[in-house]
Structure 1
């Protein structure tokens, strides 16, 4: 095993990615999949194919993470999208939910910082301690997608209050109450591993 790709919104999304990775010529996600070179090892081909898949819709906008298992990690032919995190380590972090997670109803004095309404919707909050920005996911998504009106899912954008660049996936994870402890690791459930068997 060389790496995991994780952070998919569902098991189905992870399975679709895995299928496209294992069957690049049959997948409709890659318009021009690379051709396997003569005598190229399957793992080398899979690593050459990986960034092309990560740059292709629908995965190019997801907040995915690539965890390399063994240093030194190989250099990819193309760089993955800049919002995707590359990590090193021997497993996946166990996501823990904070107690009293964000199912909190909007407090009386706290409404959306963008529309001003106090709906019973969990708010996305800026992670900076001094910034008090809170907004409905739909309001903040509209703001982040203003420069890209044809997209449905934002990658990130500037906090409307402190102007810090925020990644959409990190905001959603925080809102859901998920945090990654530094030392606790588990074997992954939705693991994508390139096959080392010849095709």
Structure 2
């Protein structure tokens, strides 16, 4: 079997859909592009699932999702566990919330009917088990009522979630200050999607463009220098090196040194994967997943980096208009 080496995707999510016609009808899925996937479920684009194709349940809304999965396989594992919490080995038997009481014809346990409360309870449970607790996950809510269910679930839970798990709410421009004002559109331009909710999620690498450009410059001009952790010289091209993500900092170190630095001594026996910490050079806060996105893009995604850093050509008409405006403004 051939294993394809790919960079960490800019976004991969496990989402919860709810029918706007019947709130009891729910669906769980995974996708790297939530806006496109929602259109598929609603019949506005090709694709979608059979279970969401019934016209009497459309339109569907994406009310919540978990983001930060480092691959499609990682997201699929979480999706399967959330869809089958009565079977998932990620959940210890004594901690199960959803329990099957019926059997299929083949003898397998029948999946119990889900409610929004049971889904939120199982998300809380899965985010706390060792299998997923150290993953760089984020929890997003796009509906105030569903967020209230989550708050009740969290308050009733026996075990609290890790303190650094981001929980993000974005209920639309009328109820949140996080929504960005839509810019005016030029005549002839395609209508822009609302810049809030699932449409505000980054589905490409643009948010880390400056970081990627810094990495190409540092490693392209062989400015690795000495490891910021062990202080040993790092010969260009002879090791796996990671770069600090903070602006203005070119701190580079061996991958193993960064890992050892970012995992507290008390956790090293049980944990192999860092979450976050501070850079030894600039003392700024860093996220392990951000560093790994840049590293995997640099080492596995040369085409993606070329597309990201390629300068866009300005259409002649717009360039001429801009030049005319600048000339007119000049005294």
What TM-score do you get using the length of structure 2 for normalisation?
0.46
Matches within 5 A, 1:22-171: 22-31=83-92, 32-35=95-98, 42-71=115-144, 73-74=147-148, 75=151, 76-77=153-154, 78=157, 79-89=160-170, 90-91=197-198, 92-97=201-206, 98=209, 101=213, 102=215, 105=219, 107-111=221-225, 112-114=227-229, 115-120=232-237, 121-129=240-248, 131-147=249-265, 148-150=267-269, 151-171=271-291
Q: Conserved in 2, the CA contact under 8 Å of 1:5 and 1:65?
A: yes
Q: Conserved in 1, the CA contact under 8 Å of 2:251 and 2:279?
A: yes
Give the CA deviation at 1:155: 1.2
In structure 2, the gaps of 5 or more residues are 1-16, 18-62, 100-112, 171-196, 299-303, 305-331
Q: Conserved in 2, the CA contact under 8 Å of 1:106 and 1:118?
A: no
Q: Conserved in 2, the CA contact under 8 Å of 1:124 and 1:172?
A: no
What is the RMSD of the two structures over their aligned residues, measured on CA atoms? 2.9
In structure 1, the gaps of 5 or more residues are 179-199
Q: Conserved in 2, the CA contact under 8 Å of 1:69 and 1:88?
A: yes
Q: Conserved in 1, the CA contact under 8 Å of 2:222 and 2:236?
A: no
Q: Distance in 1 between matches of 2:293 and 2:161?
A: 21
Give the CA deviation at 1:63: 0.6
Aligned residue pairs: how many? 174
Q: Distance in 2 between matches of 1:24 and 1:107?
A: 50
Which 4+ stretches in 1 moved above 6 angstroms?
none
Point out the more displaced range, 115-124 or 49-58: 115-124
Give the CA deviation at 1:159: 1.7
Relative contact order higher in (CA < 8 Å, ≥ 6 apart): 1
